[in-house]
Amino acid sequence: MATPAKRLFRPPPAPARPPHRATSPTYRLRRPTATPLYPVVQHHLETFLARAAEADPLGNGVPWWVEKDFRAYLRCGFLAHGFARARCEDCGHERLIPFSCKGRGICPSCNTRRMAELAAHLTDHVLPHLAGRQWVLSLPKRLRPFLHRNPDIAGAVLRIFLRAVRTTLRPACPGAPLDAQLTYWAAGRLLEPLPEGFATVAPDLAVEIVSPSNTVSEVADKVHAYLAAGARMVWVVDPRCRSATVYRSRDDIWILTEEEALDGGEVLPGLKAPLAEVLA
């Protein structure tokens, strides 16, 4: 006996998908209390400050700017502590944007925004589109406390490192131009792992070696660019005049003769390089 054929079910055709449209990025209100760092600072800041004051023989505790950054971080991103009102001229939509603390060491959001702005400024206006090489001196962890506590040892190690780099580069690059740039970043200012290519953070110290082809205006433009980007000190070494110029700002300028020495000051404590040895 023949069995009736089963009727196959065919689902209706799926509706056509609308064409994909690129959506513009939307502003999302930051929620500091949702981060792991905020409750730690909120609940333990007073205890930390009190114990730091007890451990200090003078009773001062942490520096005032450290406490200021901590307390500003606790107010960062809250409408109750101030805000700006942004309004779209086309649709009339309004949005409240809370003020940020603009801190430099505590707030992750402000640090990231400042890092991105500085990287864009260096890429667009400061760093030339040239090949560069980054040298990193990594020391064993057991030796790092000795260098941190003793600026003389740190300066001596840095001089040995720079001398080794210079000795290595000169024979390997016989056709390289005489002018060169050397930059130095203090520990902790660069991200880990270290980026490849150009760093996105302004150096603490920039060294410019003047070549015969450099003009005065070119050197001045480089110095002003370094200072504007956030460099704390710039050295300009002129082998022809046997002199060096130290810039801490556009107004704080010192000219050194061959008999004097380059001093790292607060940027590189303990570093004193006789100018005669640098020019040798």
- Is 58:88 a contact under the CB 8 Å cutoff? no
Q: pTM of the prediction?
A: 0.39
pLDDT digit string (tens) for 211-251? 777 778 788 888 888 888 778 888 888 887 888 888 888 77
pLDDT at res. 65: 82
- Residues 73, 41: Cα–Cα separation, whole Å: 9
Higher pLDDT, 144 or 280: 144
What is the dihedral angle through the alpha carbons of 221, 222, 223, 227, rounded to the nearest 10 degrees?
A: 100
Task: Check pLDDT > 60 for residue 11.
Answer: no
Task: Check pLDDT > 80 for residue 62.
Answer: yes
Task: Check pLDDT > 80 for residue 70.
Answer: yes
Q: 144-279: what fold?
A: tt1808, chain A (3.90.1570)
Higher pLDDT, 270 or 197: 270
Structure tokens at 181: 């740039």
Q: What percent of the chain has pLDDT over 90?
A: 3
Q: List the chain domain ranges.
A: 32-126, 144-279
Q: Between the CA of residue 44 and those of 60, 151, 242, what are the distances in Å?
A: 18, 33, 55
Task: Over range 115-125, report the average pLDDT.
Answer: 75
Higher pLDDT, 10 or 106: 106
pLDDT at res. 90: 85
pLDDT digit string (tens) for 166-206? 777 767 666 655 555 566 555 555 544 445 555 556 677 88
DSSP character at residue 211 = P
Task: Check pLDDT > 80 for residue 142.
Answer: yes
DSSP for 179-191, written as a single string: -EEEEE--TTSS-
Least confident of 72-81, 85-94, 98-107: 98-107
